[in-house]
């Protein structure tokens, strides 16, 4: 048989040859360094047979930054963690241990309590395994053979997994540890140059709170110590920028147990919030959106019509009024209200595209264990819009939305990328409708020349979507806005418009949120800027520090002269040095120290980054004017 190499040359191999055979045929050095094979673009263990005509790519230790190469390294490292834990804690029950973004974890049921203090001991045991060296051997067995093996070993979680496994059962063994696993794995442990256990948490078996709570140990691994050191430095920087720490420190917001998942916004935080809202309204108006406001509560029949009751009930809050009244629900999304608004009267094709925009409070019953500061909340405010279009208008409208998102993200120094999510198993509508919807979104991305990835099965129940991701200043990727094409809700709400032919036609609706949840976006911005917001977004733009009591009145006059901006005076009876340090901690963009030598013609100004200069009031205004607006 023959396989196709990345340069389009063909490599002849015997029938049943594996990725490792292919690597050896190319060269012994490649075979020694090989960690993984991509066959038809899919990750495959080196030990598995290749198919005739397959395009293949062999990844090696030189591909240390490739996500798939890191995936297999971390998968094997997770198995080393499990082997180490079994050695150190006789009687421990082993659950699952997958690689994840930036690392891996493994879940265990320990016979005794363990804590963060135990991680160095486990880490030392992993290093001992690496010093000894490990090789991974793959074996395929029947489900019955696997079940009996794990029953004898006293591993109930593995027995349960065997009972639900689909397809061939494979086992991987390294040292004295055998695991139920599909792979892929490294040939041996030589490529693993750096392993670090990073944390410990509780986790319910299979994510069900009614099941046993296990102990989850997190870790990460790299092909070099330098890469691990760089990663840990990024993690430490991320901790310093954590919005849950900076939010209260900068007096922006706080969270409390009496309102879980619902932030309290302080006056300074509301400055940021209102700037984002002003940006949303201003840019929407430029693009032909009209502001609407729809109810917070609807009867359950509305959500039955929209499909939310069937597909989203577990995430909704319900309200029961008087006994003789209908059961109501707080809206988790704006779309049902916008459908009813469109259908309130007969529409003409001349009104389309009709772009409804609404920044409204939404409520979603996220589980307590998933809440995370501003990034995952129960109280959500989206820069939401629903655009009603004809079939012919779809491409241009989505094209305009992609242009819009590029503009918005560029304002904040964020780099967007797209993910096209296609039809899930649980969905509304016909395959023909989904074909048209998916094709329309993909054509719009291609037309715009925007890089994108396809995520099969991750669309919403009513239509495919473009998810918008961005990369922040630490190189982290965040999911932000979304553009969703929907044929279903106009049909379920029986929406129509009168066409130029005087015949009724069904509109198509595009669901669109570009910043996404404003709470989440604010949390990401806090971390992206590390709390040092650009001048236009900073809650306090200028702080004046009068040196003594005699300087307070001139400082107030200066504040009045700078009234176009957000200016504070710090008159506390603290030393000037202490007040300067406090302003630096609060990341105030401009700090003016006002003493005997200062006047409107000579101001002592501390700029972002600690730079000091002397400016006149006019000079300061001229400098600030360049950064004061978008």
Active-site amino acid positions: 335, 364, 382, 384, 386, 465, 511
* Pairing mode of beta strands 542-546, 508-517: unpaired
CA 388 – CA 506 distance, rounded (Å): 10
Nearest to 316 by CA among 326, 306, 330, 302: 330
Write out the two tokens for 152: 């004898």
Q: Which residues lie below 8 Å from residue 621, measured CB to CB, with a gap of 6+?
A: 562
The DSSP 8-state label assigned to residue 50 in this structure reads: P
Q: Dihedral through CA 130, CA 131, CA 136, CA 137, nearest 10?
A: -150
> Side-chain half-sphere of 571: how many Cα atoms within 13 Å?
12
Nearest to 4 by CA among 40, 35, 30, 46: 40
Strand partners, 429: none
Q: Which residues lie below 8 Å from residue 79, measured CB to CB, with a gap of 6+?
A: 97, 136, 172, 174, 177, 179, 181, 185
Q: Token match 């061939």: residue? A: 168
Write out the two tokens for 339: 């459908």
The DSSP 8-state label assigned to residue 547 in this structure reads: S
By the 8 A CB rule, do 283 and 544 touch?
no
Cα 103 from chain centre:
16
Angle, vertex CA 563, rays to CA 562 and CA 564, nearest 5:
95
CA 155 – CA 286 distance, rounded (Å): 63
Q: Where are the beta strands (DSSP E) in 110-176?
A: 137-141, 169-174
Q: Name the burial class of residue 553, with classes exposed (0-12), middle (13-18) and buried (19+) by CB atoms within 10 angstroms of its CB.
A: exposed
Q: Where are the beta strands (DSSP E) in 169-256?
A: 169-174, 177-180, 194-204, 213-222, 253-254
Cβ atoms within 10 Å, residue 57: 16
Q: Token match 């102990």: residue? A: 215
CA 404 – CA 288 distance, rounded (Å): 12
Cα–Cα separations (whole angstroms), residue 232 to 80, 120, 126, 197: 21, 16, 19, 11
């Amino acid at each position: 048989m023959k396989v196709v190499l990345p340069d389009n040359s063909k490599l002849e191999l015997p029938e049943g040859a594996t990725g490792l055979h292919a690597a050896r045929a190319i060269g012994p050095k490649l075979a020694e360094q090989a960690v993984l094979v991509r066959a038809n673009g899919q990750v495959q263990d080196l030990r598995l047979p290749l198919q005739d005509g397959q395009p293949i790519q062999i990844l090696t230790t030189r591909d240390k930054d490739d996500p798939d190469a890191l995936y297999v390294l971390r998968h094997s490292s997770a198995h080393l963690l499990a082997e180490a834990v079994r050695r150190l804690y006789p009687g421990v029950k082993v659950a699952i241990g997958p690689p994840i973004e930036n690392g891996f974890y493994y879940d265990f049921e320990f016979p005794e309590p363990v804590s963060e203090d135990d991680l160095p001991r486990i880490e030392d045991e992993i290093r001992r395994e690496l010093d000894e060296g490990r090789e991974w051997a793959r074996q395929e067995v029947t489900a019955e053979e696997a079940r009996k093996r794990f029953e004898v070993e006293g591993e109930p979680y593995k027995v349960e997994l065997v009972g639900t496994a689909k397809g061939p059962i494979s086992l991987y063994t390294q040292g004295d540890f055998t695991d139920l696993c599909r792979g892929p794995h490294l040939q041996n442990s030589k490529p693993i140059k750096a392993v670090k256990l990073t944390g410990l948490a509780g986790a319910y078996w299979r994510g069900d709170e009614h099941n046993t709570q296990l102990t989850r140990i997190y870790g990460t691994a790299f092909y070099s110590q330098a890469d691990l050191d760089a990663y840990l430095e990024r993690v430490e920087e991320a901790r310093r920028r954590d919005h849950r720490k900076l939010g209260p420190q900068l007096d922006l917001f706080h969270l409390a147990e009496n309102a879980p998942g619902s932030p309290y916004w302080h006056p300074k935080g509301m400055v940021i919030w209102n700037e984002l809202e002003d940006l949303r309204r201003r840019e929407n108006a430029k693009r032909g959106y009209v502001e609407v406001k729809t109810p917070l509560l609807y009867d359950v029949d509305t959500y039955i019509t929209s499909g939310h009751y069937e597909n989203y009930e577990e995430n909704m809050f319900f309200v029961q009024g008087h006994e003789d009244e209908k059961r109501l629900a707080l809206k988790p999304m704006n779309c049902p209200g916008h459908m009813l608004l469109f259908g309130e009267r007969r529409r003409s094709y001349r009104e389309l595209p009709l772009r409804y925009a609404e920044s409204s409070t939404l409520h979603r019953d996220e589980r307590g264990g998933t809440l995370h500061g501003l990034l995952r909340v129960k109280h959500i405010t989206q820069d939401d819009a629903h655009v009603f279009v004809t079939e012919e208008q779809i491409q241009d409208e989505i094209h305009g939305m992609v242009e819009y998102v590029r503009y918005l993200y560029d304002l904040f120094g964020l780099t967007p990328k797209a993910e096209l999510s296609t039809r899930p198993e649980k969905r509304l509508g016909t395959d023909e409708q989904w074909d048209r919807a998916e094709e329309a979104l993909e054509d719009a991305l291609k037309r715009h020349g925007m890089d994108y990835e396809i995520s099969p099965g991750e669309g919403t129940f009513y239509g495919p979507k473009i998810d918008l991701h961005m990369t922040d200043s630490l190189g982290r990727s965040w999911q932000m806005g979304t553009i969703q094409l929907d044929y279903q809700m106009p049909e379920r709400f029986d929406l129509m418009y009168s066409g130029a032919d005087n015949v009724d036609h069904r509109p198509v609706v595009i669901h669109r949120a570009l910043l996404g949840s404003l709470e989440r976006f604010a949390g990401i911005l806090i971390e992206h800027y590390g709390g040092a917001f650009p001048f236009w977004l900073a809650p306090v733009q200028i702080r004046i520090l009068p040196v003594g009591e005699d300087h307070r009145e001139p400082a107030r006059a200066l504040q009045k002269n700078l009234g176009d901006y957000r200016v504070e005076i710090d008159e506390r009876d603290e030393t000037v040095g202490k007040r300067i340090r406090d302003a630096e901690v609060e990341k105030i963009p401009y700090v003016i120290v006002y003493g005997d030598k200062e006047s409107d013609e000579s101001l002592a100004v501390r700029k972002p980054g600690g730079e000091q200069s002397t400016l006149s009031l006019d000079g300061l205004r001229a400098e600030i004017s360049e950064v004061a607006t978008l």
